Structure 1
Amino acid sequence: MFPFWLESAYANSSIDFLIITNNKLDAKKNIKVVNMEFEELKLVIQKKFDFPISLPSPYKLCDFKGAYGVIFCNFIKGYDFWGFGDIDLIYGNIRLFLTNEILSNFWVISGWGHLTLYKNNEMCNNFFKNYLEGFQYYKNVFSNPKNSAFDEYNHRGLSDMWKVLYPEKIWNYYPFDDIRVPRINFNFISEFHLECSHKLIFEYRNKNLRRIYVNSSGEAAQENILYVHFQQRGFMKILTNDKESYLIIPNKFIDIEEITIQKLDKWTKSRDIERNIWYFLNRIKRRFKMISKNTNNG
């Protein structure tokens, strides 16, 4: 899925993306790449704090996202906003939603771990250091090896703290689809838009991303969206070479074609057997990894 994320980021040419990685990746006009090993990155982050941090794995970086304005201060000079986002998503036309008016009136855009923007100023960059009774405190979070969801809502972290202290500074709307982890079958269920989840698919075309679904009247409907976020969908098959125009159906990326109610029915037909096979194989993989780890430790 990463090549499709990359192309959707590249299509938003007015926004610069910084990728810090130890993988070989070519930079583009608005895609900046910094090659760095994880151990080196840990040292960079540790130098920003006067207490020992705990960063046992890249996943723990999620808890440090709100501090990126301090950690990567040299990279954000001259920018109005900085932020962070996941790569298991596809962007639509970002500036169609994040207009100059919105960026002028708000300091925090979204506040979700899969995409958040902060105004590049002293207060926002250092907000993570705030202490508020009943909320997580950054020193405890940064020194704890376990993930604390410090970057997310509903975990007494930074976004919840912003809502309490400066609610007028947050642009917290949902022009995106956060797709639930597949439990019963592969079909898409949008966390904040259940009414748009019936026979839901996505179309990426002309640098715009649209949700397409069957509405309560039984008709095909569509809307432009900011992005779609997928979770734990490593099973998705790539059946198209076109990264500029394609459809995303519940378990595949496919070529663009005409969309009809009949095709929506076909694409979103329950695939319980496929899903159960995928789930079973993943359980075997996890069990094998656990056995291998115990064997190596023993």
Structure 2
Amino acid sequence: MKTILIILPYFGPFPKMFPFWLESAYANSSIDFLIITNNKLDAKKNIKVVNMEFEELKLVIQKKFDFPISLPSPYKLCDFKGAYGVIFCNFIKGYDFWGFGDIDLIYGNIRLFLTNEILSNFWVISGWGHLTLYKNNEMCNNFFKNYLEGFQYYKNVFSNPKNSAFDEYNHRGLSDMWKVLYPEKIWNCYPFDDIRVPRINFNFISEFHLECSYKLIFEYRNKNLRRIYVNSFGEAAQENILYVHFQQRGFMKILANDKESYLIVPNKFIDIEDITIQKLDKWTKPRDIERNIWYFLNRIKRRFKMILKNTN
């Protein structure tokens, strides 16, 4: 079995859903996760922990480069993800693959999708910022240093304080460069749901699976994650997925008591229960009032931060 290490630096308070992320990581016991954080977190099972402050990590990263880097905030680390094979070279020794991702998601059974056959035939798995794996070899580990006309160059990205989405598709970054130079080396399938930022209401809309987004919810049970929705025939349908990624959903309520078995419905985690069309209707009923209140409070919060920033 191919060995995998997923590297996740995270600074500041963990999100409310972190215990559920953690449980879904534990469930993938054949995959190791390295969390670098200033939070109190114990290493356990397949979770490795390095405790350090963000300023300490900045020094570690700077030592890897012979030019001044710009890392004004933890969010800027996204641009450095493709360089983790160099930055954390001591941690990836002995692993077949290393990777990176986010913690605002829930994993399903990763090995159900990333089989040994796939890992034997591809060097880059996915290419999205929320979960990407690279084969642990000299070329992949140093690929971020490539220069290609019309694409972002790592020295410019690493020395610019602004986020450049260097780790993502559609921004002339690393994943786009792989697609141009070595398309046969990338496994770029979409067995996951990347949920859009809520705009009209809180309902889930999957970026790459619009056909599965009608009355969409998620069920985590027996270490598997399923999308459940109403199909074009008006019937409840379900499929196993690799993971679900949430964005800007800090308003989600945690009402589930069991982290090993639960439902994720628009705006909350709830205890597991039998699913019917009627319940899907109830859970996915637009909640415009809640949405408007959340956006109003969020706007005030952003303005307050700007005022504080300008007065400092």
* Class of the TM-score when normalised by the shorter of the 2 chains: over 0.9
Residue ranges of structure 2 left out of the alignment (5+ in a row): 1-16
The Cα offsets for residues 193-226 of structure 1, whole Å up to 9 and x where unpaired, read as 0000000000000000000000000000000000
Instruction: Report the Cα distance in structure 1 between the residues aligned to 2:163 and 2:307, rounded to whole angstroms.
Output: 23
For 2:73, the equivalent position in structure 1 comes to: 57
Q: Quote how far apart the aligned CAs of 1:118 are.
A: 0.1
CA distance, structure 2, for counterparts of residue 117 and residue 133 of structure 1: 25
Inter-partner Cα distance in structure 2 for 1:289 and 1:254:
32
* 1:246 lines up with 2:262 in the alignment: yes
Q: Deviations over 1:160-184 (max 9, x none)?
A: 0000000000000000000000000
Shift of the alpha carbon at 1:86? 0.3
- Render the CA deviation track for 1:72-116: whole Å, top value 9, x for unaligned: 000000000000010000000000000000000000000000000
Give me the whole-angstrom Cα distance separating, in 1, the residues matched to 2:251 and 2:98: 32
User: C-alpha distance in 1, partners of 2:310/2:36?
Assistant: 31
Cα distance between partner residues in 1 of 2:220 and 2:143: 36
1:78 pairs with 2:94: yes
The partner residue of 1:89 within 101, 105, 109 is: 105
Rounded to whole Å, the distance in 2 between the matches of 1:80 and 1:149 is 26
Taking the TM superposition and a 5 Å limit, the aligned residue runs for 1:149-298 are 149-295=165-311
The separation in 2 between residues aligned to 1:107 and 1:138, in whole angstroms, is 20
SS in 2 for 1:254: strand
Shift of 1:290: 1.4
What is the rounded CA distance, in whole Å, between the counterparts of 1:218 and 1:281 in structure 2?
Answer: 37
Percent identity between matched residues is 97
Alpha-carbon distance between aligned partners in 2 of 1:263 and 1:227, rounded to the nearest angstrom: 23
Deviations 1:132-176 (A, max 9, x none): 000000000000000000000000000000000000000000000
* Deviation (angstroms), 1:26: 1.2
Distance 1:6 1:72 in 2: 22
Could you give the per-residue CA deviations for residues 238-271 of structure 1, whole angstroms, max 9, x where no partner exists? 0012100000000000000000000000000010
In 1, Cα distance between equivalents of 2:237 and 2:34: 35
> How far 1:293 moved relative to its partner?
2.1
Q: Distance in 2 between matches of 1:88 and 1:247?
A: 16
Equivalents in 2 of 1:46, 1:241: separation in Å?
43
Q: Which residue of 1 aligns with 2:4?
A: none
Question: How far, CA to CA, are the matches of 1:108 and 1:8 in structure 2?
Answer: 23
- Give the total of aligned pairs: 296
Q: Which moved more, 1:22-31 or 1:211-220?
A: 22-31
Find the aligned partners of 1:268 and 1:7 in 2 and give their Cα distance: 26
Measured in 1, the distance between the counterparts of 2:96 and 2:59 equals 27
- Partners of 1:289 and 1:155 lie apart in 2 by 28
Aligned-partner Cα distance in 1 for 2:176–2:91: 27
Structure 1 stretch displaced more, 107-116 or 285-294? 285-294
Which region of structure 1 is more displaced relative to structure 2, 185-194 or 280-289?
A: 280-289
Structure 1 length-normalised TM: 0.99
The TM-score with structure 2 as length reference comes to 0.94
| CA distance in structure 2 between the partners assigned to 1:293 and 1:43 by the alignment | 25
Q: Deviations over 1:20-40 (max 9, x none)?
A: 001100111100000011111
Tell me how far apart the structure 2 counterparts of residues 127 and 5 of structure 1 sit (CA, whole Å). 29
Give the root-mean-square deviation of aligned CA atoms.
0.6
Gaps spanning 5+ residues in structure 1: where? none
The Cα shift of 1:292 comes to: 2.0
TM-fit CA distance, 1:52: 0.5
Q: Aligned partners of 1:200 and 1:17: how far apart in 2?
A: 29
